[in-house]
Amino acid sequence: MNNEEIAQKMDQIKENPELGIKHVEGVDPNGEALSRDEMEAMLAMQRGKAKIPTNIFTQEIELPSQGYFGGPSKVSIRRMTMREEEILYLSDSNPNYLDDLALSCIVSPSNISLDVLHPNDLLYILFAIRNISFDSTYKQNSICPTCKQAHIETIDITSLPISFLDKKKVDEMRNVKLPVSGDTITINILTEGQLLKLEEDIQREIRVNKITNLEQAKLYGLQMRHEALISKLNGKTFDSLTEKREYINSMLLKDYNKITSVSNKIKNSFGLDRSFDVKCPHCGNPYESEAVMVPEFFRPSDED
C-alpha cells in the first residue's frame, strides 16, 4: 500500500467513521487484513493531523553518532505536548513507545527514520526532550552498596557528559583480527531500526519453523543475533547464510569473545555517559551510580 492509497483510505475513514474502527482493528472494509506497516502508516498520518503550536520551543542538538549511519548529524526537537501524553498512556501495549516518543518530538528533519539512528542517539534525544520539556533535574532512588541504605539522588541532565562517534576510529575498530584463527572479521553496528527488524525476524522465523520449546526458541534467537553481528570475513561477504552459519558454529569461543568485546567498546565509545559519583548520606561511602529513566522521568511530580 503506497502513500496515495493510504491517504485515500484516510479520507474514506473521515467520511465514514465506522471504517476507521475496522482499520484500527487491522481489517479493511473489503475484509483484507492490514499489515503492520500499513496500520502504522495510517495511524501516523492520523496523528500527524493533530495541531502542534507553531510557537512551541525547539532546540537543535548534535547526535552522538554524527550521522555515521546515513542520517543527520543534528536534529531539532520540541517540547512534549498532549500528543506525547497519548504515547505514554498507551505504553503498556507498546514496547517501542520510547522510540515513538522520540520520533514524535523531532521536528527537523521531519522524515527521519529509526534506520539511521543508533540506540545511543535515541537515548540522548530522550534525555534532551525531558530537559527542555520540564527541567534539567530529576530525582531517583539509590541504594548504597556498602551500608545498603536507600536515599534520593538528584540528577542534573546537563551535567552528564556526551561523547561523539569518531568515524575514523570506529571504521578501524570494526575490522577485528581474531586471536586464534587469525581471520579478520568486519562487524556490524546495528541501528535502532535494524535491531527492531532483527527481533521481528527472529519471532517470525520461530513461528515459521514452529519452534515451541522455549529454550530452543531462545537459542534460535541467539544464533540470529550472532549472524547479524558479523558482516564480512577477511574483507569479503559470505556467499550464503549457510556459509556464515557454519563459520560461526565452528568458531572458537575466544575468537567470538574478541568480537563481542570490540562491539561493546564501539558502543561505549559514543553517547551519553549516565554514570556519576555519589557520596552516601548515611555512611559517607563514595560509589558510582547511573542516571535512569524512572517512572516520573516524563511525568515529574510537583515536588521535582
Distance CA 65, CA 21 (A): 40
Strands 58-62 and 230-233: unpaired
User: According to the model, what pLDDT value does residue 31 have?
Assistant: 44
User: According to the model, what pLDDT value does residue 10 have?
Assistant: 55
SS3 content of the chain, % helix, strand, coil (to 5): 45, 20, 35
What pLDDT digit, counting tens, does each position of 240-257 carry?
A: 999 999 999 999 999 999
> Which residues in the chain land under pLDDT 70?
1-54, 302-304
Residues 6 or more apart whose Cβ sits within 8 Å of residue 61: 74, 75, 76, 77, 124, 125, 128
DSSP strand E in 135-210: where?
A: 137-143, 150-156, 162-163, 175-177, 184-187
Q: Which amino acid is at 51?
A: K
Cell numbers linked to 175: 575490522
DSSP 55-78: T--EEEEE-TTTTTTSS-SEEEEE
User: According to the model, what pLDDT value does residue 56 have?
Assistant: 85
Angle at 70 between CA 68 and CA 74, to 5 degrees: 70
Strands 137-143 and 150-156: antiparallel
The pTM assigned to this predicted structure is 0.81
Residue positions counted in the chain: 304
Distance CA 205, CA 224 (A): 10
User: According to the model, what pLDDT value does residue 39 have?
Assistant: 52
User: According to the model, what pLDDT value does residue 55 have?
Assistant: 75
User: According to the model, what pLDDT value does residue 51 have?
Assistant: 58
Helix (H, G, I), strand (E, B), or coil: what is residue 195?
Answer: helix
Distance CA 244, CA 186 (A): 13
Neighbours of 35 (CB within 10 A): 11
Name the strand (E) or helix (H) holding 278.
strand 275-279
Which pairs count as long-range contacts for 10-15, CB under 8 Å and 24+ apart, including other chains?
10/42, 10/45, 10/46
What pLDDT digit, counting tens, does each position of 195-230 carry?
A: 999 999 999 999 999 999 999 999 999 999 999 999
Helix (H, G, I), strand (E, B), or coil: what is residue 276?
Answer: strand
User: According to the model, what pLDDT value does residue 296 have?
Assistant: 82
Distance CA 112, CA 117 (A): 9
User: According to the model, what pLDDT value does residue 40 have?
Assistant: 53
Neighbours of 7 (CB within 10 A): 13
Please give the backbone phi and psi of residue 104, each rounded to the nearest 5 degrees, phi first: -65, -30
Distance CA 280, CA 286 (A): 6
